[in-house]
A and B are shown apart, each in its own frame.
Chain A
């Protein structure tokens, strides 16, 4: 790797960690102008930065405000780099439907997970928040997505997941369903028939990062 490339990747990474949108934009523009591989800039720069942010969040050095600002910085870079990404051979692509269940308007965790799937090159169908049950089922059928991700922030809203999971599985048993959000647990995921679970926003992010990594590994 050239020194210049390494320098720009580091600037992207650090810019995300420092939630410095301007620094990220500047480095991303330099990547494009100087003909450096945009794909590497995303994965070895921006995503590496977000990996570190995930660690800082887990250690409670960063909290949600910091993480949201880091995500803004990542998106600022991604907007510039994305049009220049050349898809590598055999790249894994998938489609995912995601949303926050009806009755719940808290979408911060979901948005952070969405960001990672965006970065990974998934075809993301984001239904937003306060999403009626049937909408998940319809959207899954319409898009034939491999994955459905359900999020809930409150004990009083997560209960709706059970019926959504059953309905989707009934229409399309092959579809994989992952659930996440503060009150959800591995145990509940099992009980409700979900295929995967993320313990909290932090683990949702980690899982998403792992998926991104797994994708990269498959591509290499």
Chain B
């Protein structure tokens, strides 16, 4: 069974022979960039450069997916925000939003969203990159992409301090905004799927229990995650949240995504206790302290720990930091391919 089939079968709930090693977040590497002589700040606005570098992770270390884009600005930009790609900076930086579209409480329910938001900004460019990837390696590995969860997207559109406070003080108002914003998430996700994306990771990274209470999560975050799920019925969807997630695993599980991706901070045993043995959990290799700073032995150890901790496929906790050494990334992939079936604790139970 090839990587693509393995990944998609597992996401669709079929029996598979082993866990896969892939991701729903960015995984461009410095090695991949150097191979083509591309500058990181340039790849965000060029479909071919984006596709070339995305495919390089499969070609260089056997990663079982290719993911575009690399930044978190796609949806906000399509709505009308201005992105900063940091072209003038020498060091590696991910783009950020420098001009927001919602400046006050009143505007939360009135700021304009273009009707054809899925055709705006760089959405067509990312679709083009997906098509290039499909043609290049689409038969071998799954082509994945991600969208921001409605709350995280709202944080790109307005002041985050205000959003957090209002999530607590005026949940109804925030829910109204998120209802509008979730339509954007859905429209763009559909467009990416139409271009050929095999699965989508919904990154609701701003809603970790490090910052929001489970109560606010249930009242303000969950309804929109469910809405996204229901609008994308036939698409394999993963939900990813950074930071602490143990207290909301049941709430996430109720959203009925094909899998839940968690990071290093998640206590996997406690998660299983809460949601049982059935749901797919992906995770949880530290994308910096292990993949960048560790040795290949450290990586192997962390990979086995993830499998023994009940992860069903091995995902890094976050975007891979580009300077991660290729031998570390190889160690992660090889460990899953060679030892995954034997060490897959959840399946072997």
Residues of A within 8 A of B (CB): 60, 63-66, 68-69, 72, 102-108, 111, 130, 132-133, 154-160, 163, 182-183, 185, 187-188, 191, 200-201
Task: Name the CB-closest residue of B to A133.
Answer: B91
**Do the beta carbons of A156 and B89 come within 8 Å of each other?**
no
Q: With an 8 A cutoff between CB atoms, is B111 at the interface?
A: no
Q: What are some 15 contacts across the A-B interface (CB < 8 A)?
A: A60-B209, A63-B168, A63-B211, A63-B213, A65-B164, A65-B165, A72-B165, A103-B94, A103-B96, A105-B97, A108-B160, A156-B318, A158-B288, A182-B243, A191-B293
**Do the beta carbons of A64 and B321 come within 8 Å of each other?**
no
Could you tell me the distance between the alpha carbons of A130 and B96 in the complex, rounded to whole angstroms? 9
Q: With an 8 A cutoff between CB atoms, is B308 at the interface?
A: no
Q: With an 8 A cutoff between CB atoms, is B157 at the interface?
A: no
Note all chain B residues with C-beta closer than 8 A to A64: 164, 210-212
Note all chain A residues with C-beta closer than 8 A to B169: 65, 69
Note all chain B residues with C-beta closer than 8 A to A163: 91
Q: With an 8 A cutoff between CB atoms, is B338 at the interface?
A: no
Note all chain A residues with C-beta closer than 8 A to B319: 155-156
Task: Name the CB-closest residue of B to A65.
Answer: B168
Contact with A along B192-233 (1 / 0, CB 8 A): 000000000000000001111100100000000000000000
Note all chain A residues with C-beta closer than 8 A to B160: 105-106, 108
Knowing A60-B209, A155-B318, A155-B321 are in contact, say whether A160-B93 is a contact too (CB < 8 A). Answer: yes
Contact with A along B238-265 (1 / 0, CB 8 A): 0000110001000000000000000000
Measured between C-beta atoms, what is the minimum distance from A143 to chain B in Å?
24
Knowing A105-B97, A155-B318, A157-B94 are in contact, say whether A65-B289 is a contact too (CB < 8 A). Answer: no
Could you tell me the distance between the alpha carbons of A15 and B167 in the complex, rounded to whole angstroms? 21
Contact with A along B155-191 (1 / 0, CB 8 A): 0000011001101110000000000000000000000
Knowing A102-B86, A159-B321, A200-B210 are in contact, say whether A65-B216 is a contact too (CB < 8 A). Answer: yes
Could you tell me the distance between the alpha carbons of A87 and B184 in the complex, rounded to whole angstroms? 54
The 5 closest A-B pairs by CB, nearest first: A65-B168, A103-B93, A64-B211, A65-B164, A63-B213
Could you tell me the distance between the alpha carbons of A197 and B317 in the complex, rounded to whole angstroms? 22
Note all chain B residues with C-beta closer than 8 A to A66: 168
Q: Give the dominant DSSP class at B's interface.
A: loop
Note all chain A residues with C-beta closer than 8 A to B96: 103-105, 130
Could you tell me the distance between the alpha carbons of A68 and B164 in the complex, rounded to whole angstroms? 8
Could you tell me the distance between the alpha carbons of A182 and B167 in the complex, rounded to whole angstroms? 21
Note all chain B residues with C-beta closer than 8 A to A104: 96
Contacts beyond the supplied A111-B161, A183-B288, A200-B210: 20 A-B pairs with Cβ under 8 Å: A60-B209, A63-B209, A63-B213, A64-B210, A64-B211, A66-B168, A68-B161, A68-B165, A103-B93, A103-B96, A105-B97, A106-B160, A108-B161, A130-B98, A154-B318, A155-B287, A156-B94, A159-B288, A159-B323, A160-B91
Measured between C-beta atoms, what is the minimum distance from A37 to chain B in Å?
32
Task: Name the CB-closest residue of B to A64.
Answer: B211
Q: Which of A60, A108, A132, A187 contacts B164 (CB 8 A)?
A: A108
Q: With an 8 A cutoff between CB atoms, is B92 at the interface?
A: yes
Task: Name the CB-closest residue of A to B316.
Answer: A155
Could you tell me the distance between the alpha carbons of A102 and B242 in the complex, rounded to whole angstroms? 20
Contact with A along B64-91 (1 / 0, CB 8 A): 0000000000000000000010100101
Measured between C-beta atoms, what is the minimum distance from A28 to chain B in Å?
21
Could you tell me the distance between the alpha carbons of A21 and B189 in the complex, rounded to whole angstroms? 42
Note all chain A residues with C-beta closer than 8 A to B167: 65
Note all chain A residues with C-beta closer than 8 A to B287: 155
Could you tell me the distance between the alpha carbons of A132 and B96 in the complex, rounded to whole angstroms? 13
Could you tell me the distance between the alpha carbons of A159 and B323 in the complex, rounded to whole angstroms? 10
Q: Which of B308-341 contact A (CB under 8 A)?
A: 317-319, 321, 323
Note all chain A residues with C-beta closer than 8 A to B93: 102-103, 157, 160
**Do the beta carbons of A159 and B216 come within 8 Å of each other?**
no
Task: Name the CB-closest residue of A to B317.
Answer: A155
Task: Name the CB-closest residue of B to A63.
Answer: B213
Contact with A along B292-320 (1 / 0, CB 8 A): 01000000000000000000000001110
**Do the beta carbons of A63 and B289 come within 8 Å of each other?**
no
**Do the beta carbons of A65 and B212 come within 8 Å of each other?**
yes
Among A65, A66, A191, the most chain B Cβ lie within 10 Å of the Cβ of A65
Note all chain B residues with C-beta closer than 8 A to A69: 165, 168-169
